[in-house]
């Protein structure tokens, strides 16, 4: 067990709260408590601490009664970090928390780096790297879907699957390398046809994981939905109807919205990021022109585009032309056609095809539109109980693994000797292992944990 220097941090958010927690981890955690803690009953002996116990008493520092506190004890290796851990629960006042932290630092603890508690948990084998990253995602999750994906990963499903694939590859790679020792005898220990099968299976699975990134990333950061269309189509009215608040200015004057306006809402557990934009048209107004450029730029980054047109006022050719303009700028997005101001027409037989008719102003059809958005994101996919990757680092490692596997396959097909093929396989194994952290360089660890909160 690694028991390094003792780290300390405030583990709760900054500001006033009912309770605030200071966390200490490392070999001096209990003796630091000894210096300032006066138990309400009995005495406190670091050596006699039992894990999973709680003590009540006072925290004194520089002759000042800082607070009444509750202290939780975890004895290594049975703690989050795997080290001796202490949690001091104070009243949630910034002054109390700062003073208590100060006292711990005064006694020799060091201020923890962001993510350092979790880094220690990783180093001590409590979590693998993928799970440690899931902890950060879990804390950041703001919707049921994002929470589900992070929790699935924290529970180690992704890691287990990678481990299984790695084990199969390692076995085969070992056999290939063994052939080297019998080079003169021209033997093949590793059954080539079974190998191609294995490679196909693993590549297919890796590809599915890679494809899941687009969904995973959208869910984690909020699915970007850009609202586009001609001026006065009712885009801002639609944004307000979706959000249920008057966020954007609405007026009968064409060209009202200039800047990009955005806000998030959660629908059926999925967070959507709605982006209202300037109406698309030819204009000589310089500022409006900038707004239109921004609109098209945001269109290119959206996953879904709500193309809003006025069923009452627009001609079929206008509707078509704007649609083509949007499509050109956002070839990868799904474009949903939304025929607005349906309240102004009697029979809606304006355009054929899959058009959603709504009245943004009268809030008619908004729920159907929301359902359509959720359906578009989930399609047939379920997000519970399956691995969905959300992390660019993982995406990168998976892509590199596939490239190496393809190289190995090419080598085998062209009759390359086993030991050379094995080099590519080791490369693939390396990249797969980098996800769970079986192989990982220190600078990568530093980069990963730097993005955590302090105290985590």
Ligand X SMILES: Nc1nc2c(c(=O)[nH]1)N(C=O)[C@@H](CNc1ccc(C(=O)N[C@@H](CCC(=O)O)C(=O)O)cc1)CN2
Ligand Y SMILES: Nc1nc2c(ncn2[C@@H]2O[C@H](COP(=O)(O)OP(=O)(O)OP(=O)(O)O)[C@@H](O)[C@H]2O)c(=O)[nH]1
The residues of the shown chain that bind Mg ion, judged by CB under 5 A, are 235-236, 256-257
350 contacts 396 by C-beta, under 8 angstroms: no
Give the whole-angstrom CA distance, residue 299 versus residue 318: 19
Longest dimension (CA), the chain: 86
Asked if 126 is part of the footprint of ligand Y (rule: CB under 6 A), the reply reads no
Q: In the bound complex, what is the minimum distance in angstroms from residue 296's beta carbon to ligand X?
A: 44
Strands 304-310 and 334-340: parallel
Q: Is 259 annotated as a binding residue?
A: no
**Token pair belonging to 88:** 């001091």
- Helix, strand or coil, per DSSP, at residue 443: helix
Site string for ligand Y, 261-290 (x = CB under 6 A): -----------------xx-----------
Task: Assign 3-state DSSP to the chain and report helix, strand, coil percentages, each to 5.
Answer: 50, 20, 35
Give the whole-angstrom CA distance, residue 180 versus residue 188: 10
Site string for ligand X, 24-63 (x = CB under 6 A): ----------------------------------------
CA angle 328, 335, 365 (to 5 degrees): 150
Q: Is 23 annotated as a binding residue?
A: yes
Report how many residues bind ligand X under the rule CB under 6 A.
Answer: 7
Q: Which is nearer to ligand Y, 115 or 365 (CB)?
A: 365
Q: In the bound complex, what is the minimum distance in angstroms from residue 280's beta carbon to ligand Y?
A: 8
Between residue 74 and residue 113, which ones bind ligand Y under the rule CB under 6 A? Answer: none
**Token pair belonging to 191:** 């059954």
Q: 77 preceded by cis ω (within 30°)?
A: yes
Give the residue among 227, 243, 207 at the shortest CA–CA distance from 333: 227
Asked if 155 is part of the footprint of ligand X (rule: CB under 6 A), the reply reads no
Figure out which of the listed residues 34, 91, 203, 361 binds ligand Y, where binding follows CB under 6 A: 361
Stretch that binds ligand Y, among 23-31, 89-97, 246-254, 430-438 (CB under 6 A): 246-254
Give the whole-angstrom CA distance, residue 155 versus residue 350: 51
Radius of gyration of the chain (CA): 29
Q: Which is nearer to Mg ion, 299 or 397 (CB)?
A: 299
Give the whole-angstrom CA distance, residue 248 versus residue 257: 8
Asked if 252 is part of the footprint of ligand Y (rule: CB under 6 A), the reply reads yes
Site string for ligand X, 68-87 (x = CB under 6 A): ------x--xxxx------x
Give the whole-angstrom CA distance, residue 31 versus residue 51: 15
Q: In the bound complex, what is the minimum distance in angstroms from residue 74's beta carbon to ligand Y?
A: 56
CA angle 225, 265, 379 (to 5 degrees): 55
Please choose which of Mg ion, ligand X, ligand Y, none residue 343 contacts, taking the beta carbon within 5 to 8 angstroms, the exact cut-off set by kind.
ligand Y
| Binding site residue list for K(+) | 232, 251, 253, 256
For binding to ligand Y (CB under 6 A), which residues are involved? 231-237, 250-252, 254-257, 278-279, 340-341, 343-344, 359-361
| Binding site residue list | 23, 87, 126, 232-237, 251-257, 276-279, 340-343, 456
| Binding site residue list for GTP | 232-237, 251-257, 276-279, 340-343
For binding to ligand X (CB under 6 A), which residues are involved? 74, 77-80, 87, 126
């Amino acid at each position: 067990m690694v028991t390094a220097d003792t780290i300390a941090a405030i583990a709760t958010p900054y500001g006033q709260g009912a309770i605030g927690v200071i966390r200490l981890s490392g070999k001096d955690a209990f003796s630091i408590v000894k210096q300032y803690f006066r138990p309400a009953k009995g005495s406190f002996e670091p050596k006699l601490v039992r894990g999973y116990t709680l003590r009540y008493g006072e925290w004194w520092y520089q002759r000042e009664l800082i607070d009444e506190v509750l202290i939780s004890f975890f004895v290594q290796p049975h703690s989050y970090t795997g080290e001796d851990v202490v949690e001091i629960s104070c009243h949630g006042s910034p002054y109390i928390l700062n003073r208590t932290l100060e006292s711990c630092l005064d006694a020799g603890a060091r201020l923890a780096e962001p993510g350092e508690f979790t880094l220690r948990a990783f180093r001590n084998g409590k979590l693998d790297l993928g799970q440690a990253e899931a902890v950060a995602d879990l804390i950041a999750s703001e919707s049921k879907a994002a929470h589900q994906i992070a929790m699935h990963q924290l529970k180690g499903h992704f890691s287990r699957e990678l481990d299984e694939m790695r084990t199969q590859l390692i076995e085969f790679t070992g056999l290939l390398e063994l052939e080297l020792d019998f080079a003169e005898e021209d033997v093949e220990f590793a059954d080539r046809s079974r190998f191609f099968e294995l490679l196909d299976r693993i590549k297919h699975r890796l590809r599915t994981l890679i494809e899941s990134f687009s969904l995973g990333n959208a869910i984690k950061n909020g699915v970007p939905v850009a609202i586009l269309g001609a001026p006065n189509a009712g885009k801002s009215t639609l944004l307000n109807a979706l959000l249920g608040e008057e966020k954007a200015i609405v007026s009968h004057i064409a060209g009202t919205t200039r800047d990009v306006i955005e806000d998030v809402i959660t629908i059926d557990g999925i967070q959507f990021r709605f982006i209202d934009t300037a109406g698309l048209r030819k204009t000589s107004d310089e500022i409006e022109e900038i707004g239109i450029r921004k609109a098209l730029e945001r269109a290119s980054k959206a996953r879904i585009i709500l193309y809003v047109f006025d069923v009452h006022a627009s001609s079929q050719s206008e509707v078509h032309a704007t649609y083509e303009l949007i499509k050109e700028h956002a070839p990868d997005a799904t474009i949903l056609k939304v025929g607005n101001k349906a309240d102004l027409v009697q029979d809606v037989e304006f355009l054929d095809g899959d058009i959603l008719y709504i009245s943004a102003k009268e809030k008619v059809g908004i729920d159907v539109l929301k359902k359509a958005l959720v359906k578009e994101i989930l399609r047939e996919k379920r997000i519970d109980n399956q691995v969905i990757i959300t992390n660019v680092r993982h995406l990168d490692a998976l892509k590199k693994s596939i490239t190496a596997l393809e190289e190995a396959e090419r080598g085998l097909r062209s009759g390359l000797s086993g030991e050379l093929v094995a080099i590519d396989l080791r490369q693939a194994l390396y990249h797969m292992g980098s996800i769970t952290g079986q192989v990982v360089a220190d600078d990568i660890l530093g980069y990963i944990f730097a993005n955590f909160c302090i105290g985590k």
